[in-house]
């Protein structure tokens, strides 16, 4: 179930945020957020919403085109733990 744009939370991420793993078969992805002040990387696993919009360098793609280590510039989380959009750069 997608949330309305007013309910969804758009997040812009700092440099260093990257893809941890992609499981296209199960529609899951892990984002690794660099936290330099704490000296750690924090990984969070999400499920992609069925109608999620994924872009790679500004062009729409399917989840199987996303690879570990790619830079994540932003995402929209509708329901907690589910991404409605994902913006990735090479």
State the residue range of the domain holding 22: 9-89
How many CA atoms are closer than 13 Å to the CA of 41, on its beta-carbon side?
11
Give the pLDDT band (50/70/90) at residue 2: very low
- In this structure, is residue 69 part of a structural domain? yes
50 domain residue, yes or no: yes
> What is the C-alpha to C-alpha distance for residues 10 and 3, in angstroms, rounded to an integer?
12
DSSP state of 78: S
Q: Is residue 73 part of a domain?
A: yes
Strands 59-60 and 82-89: unpaired
pLDDT one-digit tens code per residue, 30-88:
999 877 677 778 899 999 999 999 999 999 999 999 999 999 999 999 899 999 999 99
Q: Is residue 1 part of a domain?
A: no
Whether 53 is covered by a domain: the verdict is yes
Q: Does residue 74 sit within a domain?
A: yes
CATH number at residue 46: 2.40.50.320
Confidence of residue 12 (pLDDT cuts 50, 70, 90): low
pLDDT for res 84: 96
CA torsion sign for 52, 29, 14, 62 is: negative
Q: What is the domain count for the chain?
A: 1
């Amino acid at each position: 179930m997608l949330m309305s744009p007013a309910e969804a939370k758009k997040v812009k991420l700092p440099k260093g945020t990257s893809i941890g793993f992609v499981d296209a078969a199960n529609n899951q992805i892990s984002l690794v957020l660099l936290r330099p002040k704490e000296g750690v990387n924090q990984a969070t696993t999400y499920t992609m919403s069925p109608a999620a919009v994924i872009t790679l360098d500004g062009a729409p793609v399917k989840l199987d085109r996303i690879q570990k280590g790619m830079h994540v510039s932003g995402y929209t989380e509708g329901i907690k733990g589910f991404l409605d959009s994902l913006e990735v750069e090479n």
